[in-house]
């Protein structure tokens, strides 16, 4: 209950004791810490791919085709003699970049659309009807169709995945904006003569951030999975780009002779997505204590 009294304290006073700081609560959460560790490891490996990758991910070696994992090729080689470890490292770079851009664009578009619908009552119905229509398509199918229609490229994959993920994000932002909109401090700001823009940015959005942050973490995770699906099907970034999905698609034809080609990138996806999901769970528990009671 110490936290409740904190809201009456003037802001000039130091943070009242009794409730640990936000960062401290985050790092006390096991799910968040493990998730951060997993995601951090993958991200660092992806960033350092150029330095630590033992081979060129695109260059084949015909004397070392379909080599089993050994001391030289830790994850074996594919049918062109390309080193799988190097391809997975560089693949992580492309796949994470795409997923990061999707999360960023989805967050921006979701905030813009959701806040407009939630704040301006008159626009709510038309905007949300359109969002509902987009949500009627299974999101992966919508992404596949858009990517195929636009043509395979990194940019188009980002566009396709963002379009598929935005409606749900907008709906989440709208829901929390609608709650915050009715708060007394928003009314107070309005009474003081604050304009729509100021109220939206300073008061409404700032207080509707928590669900958005959690959602965007999951969007990031799903974007990694869906990008892999697009690449696997053949509407992802064009070859020879080593994305996770493209490496798996390559390995599919050699699943009996060289299962390692398929296994390694899949595990990389699993670790990245698992990390992001745990990060999201941890954030949700800390940002929304009501949920935490139920899921701890």
Partner 1 sequence: MGRFVLRRLLASIPALFLVSLITFGLLWLVPGDPASIFLDTSATAEELARVRRELGLDRPFLIRMGEWYLRLLQGDLGTSLLLNRSVTSAIFERLPVTLSLTALAFFFAVLIGVAAGVVAAVRHGKAADQGMMTLALLGLSIPEFWLGLVLIWSVAVLLPIFPAGDYVAFAKDPWQWARHIALPTFTLACVQMGFVARMARSSMLEVLGQDFVRTARAKGLPEPYVVLRHGLVNAMVPIVTVMGIMVGGLLGGAVVIEQVFSIPGMGRLIIGAVLSRDFPVIQGGLLFLALIYLGVNLLVDLLYAVIDPRVRLE
Binding footprint of partner 1 on the chain (CB under 8 A): 129-130, 132-142, 144-146, 148-151, 221, 225, 228-229, 232-235, 248, 251-252, 255-256, 259, 262-263, 265-266, 269-270, 273-274, 277-278, 281, 291, 294-295
Residues 6+ apart with CB under 8 A from 266: 244, 248
Q: How is residue 208 annotated by DSSP? A: T
Cite the DSSP H helix spans in the chain.
2-6, 22-28, 30-47, 49-52, 84-119, 121-135, 139-150, 154-181, 184-191, 196-198, 206-207, 209-233, 244-252, 260-287, 289-295
CB closer to partner 1 out of 200 and 226: 226
CB closer to partner 1 out of 96 and 205: 96
Nearest to 57 by CA among 79, 76, 84, 92: 84
CB closer to partner 1 out of 135 and 210: 135
Smallest gap from residue 59 Cβ to partner 1 (A): 25
CB closer to partner 1 out of 111 and 278: 278
Q: What backbone phi and psi angles, to 5 degrees, belong to 253?
A: -75, -15
Smallest gap from residue 4 Cβ to partner 1 (A): 21
Smallest gap from residue 245 Cβ to partner 1 (A): 8
Smallest gap from residue 177 Cβ to partner 1 (A): 21
Smallest gap from residue 154 Cβ to partner 1 (A): 15
CB closer to partner 1 out of 146 and 212: 146
Q: Are 34 and 70 spatial neighbours (Cβ–Cβ below 8 Å)?
A: no
Burial class (CB in 10 A: 0-12, 13-18, 19+), 198: middle
Q: What backbone phi and psi angles, to 5 degrees, belong to 39?
A: -65, -40
Residues 6+ apart with CB under 8 A from 57: 82, 83, 86, 87, 89, 90, 91, 242
Smallest gap from residue 27 Cβ to partner 1 (A): 20
Point out which residues pair with 83 in neighbouring strands: 77
In angstroms, how far is CA 276 from the centroid of its own chain? Answer: 7
Q: How is residue 67 annotated by DSSP? A: P
CB closer to partner 1 out of 116 and 148: 148
Smallest gap from residue 10 Cβ to partner 1 (A): 37
Task: Give the separation between CA 187 and CA 185, rounded to whole angstroms.
Answer: 5
The distance between the two most distant Cα atoms of the chain, rounded to a whole number of Å, is 77
Smallest gap from residue 12 Cβ to partner 1 (A): 39
CB closer to partner 1 out of 169 and 199: 169
CB closer to partner 1 out of 55 and 220: 220
């Amino acid at each position: 209950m110490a936290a409740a009294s904190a809201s009456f304290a003037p802001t000039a006073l130091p943070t009242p004791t009794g409730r640990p700081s936000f960062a401290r609560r985050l790092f006390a959460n096991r799910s968040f810490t493990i998730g951060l560790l997993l995601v951090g490891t993958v991200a660092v490996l992806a960033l350092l791919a150029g330095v630590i990758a033992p081979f060129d991910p695109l260059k084949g070696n015909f004397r070392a085709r379909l080599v089993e994992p050994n001391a030289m090729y830790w994850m074996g080689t594919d049918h062109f003699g390309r080193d799988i470890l190097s391809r997975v490292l560089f693949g992580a770079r492309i796949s994470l970049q795409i997923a990061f851009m999707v999360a960023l664009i989805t967050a921006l578009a979701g905030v813009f659309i959701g806040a407009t619908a939630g704040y301006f009552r008159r626009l709510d119905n038309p905007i949300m009807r359109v969002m509902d229509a987009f949500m009627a398509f299974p999101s992966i199918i919508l992404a596949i169709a858009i990517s195929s229609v636009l043509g395979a490229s990194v940019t188009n994959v980002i566009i396709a995945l963002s379009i598929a993920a935005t409606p749900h994000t907008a709906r989440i932002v709208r829901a929390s904006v609608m709650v915050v909109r009715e708060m007394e401090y928003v009314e107070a700001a309005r009474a003081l003569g604050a304009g729509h823009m100021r109220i939206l940015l300073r008061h409404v959005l700032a207080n509707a951030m928590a669900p958005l942050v959690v959602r965007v973490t999951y969007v990031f995770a799903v974007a990694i999975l869906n990008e892999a699906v697009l690449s696997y099907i053949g509407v992802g970034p064009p070859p020879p780009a080593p994305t996770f999905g493209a490496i798996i698609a390559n390995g599919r034809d050699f699943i009996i002779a060289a299962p390692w080609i398929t296994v390694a990138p899949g595990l990389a996806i699993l670790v990245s997505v698992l990390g992001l999901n745990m990060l999201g769970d941890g954030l949700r528990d800390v940002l929304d204590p009501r949920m935490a009671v139920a899921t701890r």
